[in-house]
Amino acid sequence: MTEYREESIKQLPRVTATETSNTLFTIERLNSHSDECDDCDDGDNGDEGDVPRLLVADRDDDASSMDADDSDLDRKHRSRHKRSSSPANHVVIGGKTYMTSDLEEWLARDHDLENQNELSRAKTNVTLLQGELADLDADHKIYANPLPLGLSSFGFSCLLLSMVNAQVRGVTNNKIVLGAAIFYGGLIELIAGLFCFPLGDTFGMTVLGAYGGFWLSYAVILTDQFNVVSSYSEDPAMLKNALGLYLSCWAVFTTLCWLCTMKSTWGLFMCFSFLEVTFILLACGEFLDSVPATKAGGYFGMFSALCAFYVLYSGLASTDNSYVPLKQFSMPKTKRAAMAASRD
């Protein structure tokens, strides 16, 4: 926004959507009235410091009220056109004076920001509430919520791998995870992350895209044709350490994601909390060649998958499609955050 050229110009106020619409409408009427009035160019120019007041016109008024406003506008305009050659250069709102050009630019920018906020509310980012997308305008309703799909692919693959790590029913061969890691946990989750891009959901795009890459990379390790495991055949201890380093890197990334869920919901926060512990225990199991640590990591991985399924279902189920909708519980806010939210 352009810098103000007069000391009397104050900081622009916070106005509601209705006040914004009414103010824009008023400015349009002032400008159009100034252009159509032939007397404005013939009158004597008065003191330029004489600032006109804002004339309020609500587009929701009935026809009779609008006619009264028009006549009042004409009378006031004719009474002051001799004092100022451009009556729409300034506007008074709440006893404060603003440049019309700056106010128009601010209102237009505020309208654009409001639309962007509505779109990013799909954020889907860490709330995944069913009603979030329903609040978007008609232009944005064409986008479905991709996060339930991404959570389903992550939850399924994580649950399957975690049961193998925990040796449920004596299963220790992890090749059963290969198909899910390539197609469901890898490809589908990656696509879901890319679909978060048009929604402006940076968190969802980053998390789903990254863990989609995790499952694809894990599938590469399990695939014999890539010769990842066989390349360590002469030194099995090095293979254990290499896998430990691989899992440690994912533990670091998960920590960053976990920190970004502390203001979201309990379901998503617990999902990443369990996942963080899972990667740490699995890394310790590889470094120490400890089967109990790997089993413990498997159990925590199952808890993480169940939390992902809870968030998934709560984002899908509503009173419109289910008799058993689930509620998401927001994380507690600090006093400072609560005060900031109340001011907004």
Q: Are 288 and 155 in contact (CB under 8 A)?
A: no
Q: Mean pLDDT, to the nearest integer, of 115-119? A: 60
Query: Number of helices and strands (H, E) in the chain?
Result: 13, 2
Instruction: Determine the Cα angle at 199 with ends 129 and 130, to 5°.
Output: 15
The pLDDT confidence band at residue 343, using thresholds 50, 70 and 90, is low
Tokens of 284: 């310790």
Tokens of 9: 């110009």
Closest CA to 160 of 194, 192, 183, 127: 183
What is the residue whose two structure tokens read 């509503």? Answer: 318
Tokens of 227: 């010769």
pLDDT in tens, 34-75: 555 544 444 444 444 444 444 444 444 444 555 555 555 555
**82 pLDDT more than 90:** no
The pLDDT confidence band at residue 143, using thresholds 50, 70 and 90, is confident
Among the listed ranges 119-133, 214-228, 304-318, which one has the minimum average pLDDT value?
119-133
pLDDT in tens, 177-223: 999 999 999 999 999 999 999 888 999 999 999 999 999 999 999 99
Number of C-beta neighbours around residue 184 at 10 A = 18
Residue 193 or residue 105, greater confidence: 193
What mean pLDDT, rounded, does the chain reach? 76
Q: Are 200 and 119 in contact (CB under 8 A)?
A: yes
CA 119 to each of CA 3, 125, 188, 201: distance values in angstroms, whole numbers, following the listed order: 30, 11, 23, 9
Beta bridge partners of 99: 90
**What is the percent of the chain with per-residue pLDDT over 90, rounded to a whole number?**
50
- Between CA 76 and CA 71 the distance in angstroms is 9
Residue 320 or residue 12, greater confidence: 320
The pLDDT confidence band at residue 116, using thresholds 50, 70 and 90, is low
**247 pLDDT more than 90:** yes
Q: Are 217 and 157 in contact (CB under 8 A)?
A: no
Tokens of 332: 């507690």
The structure's pTM equals: 0.61
- Between CA 16 and CA 160 the distance in angstroms is 50
**11 pLDDT more than 90:** no
Q: Are 39 and 78 in contact (CB under 8 A)?
A: yes
What is the residue whose two structure tokens read 């989750």? Answer: 189
Question: Does the CA dihedral 81-82-86-91 come out positive or negative?
Answer: negative
The pLDDT value given to residue 90: 73
The pLDDT value given to residue 92: 72
pLDDT in tens, 322-336: 999 998 899 887 767
Q: Are 198 and 143 in contact (CB under 8 A)?
A: yes
Tokens of 44: 């004597």
**148 pLDDT more than 90:** yes
The pLDDT value given to residue 12: 47
CA dihedral 258, 263, 268, 270 (to 10 degrees): 70
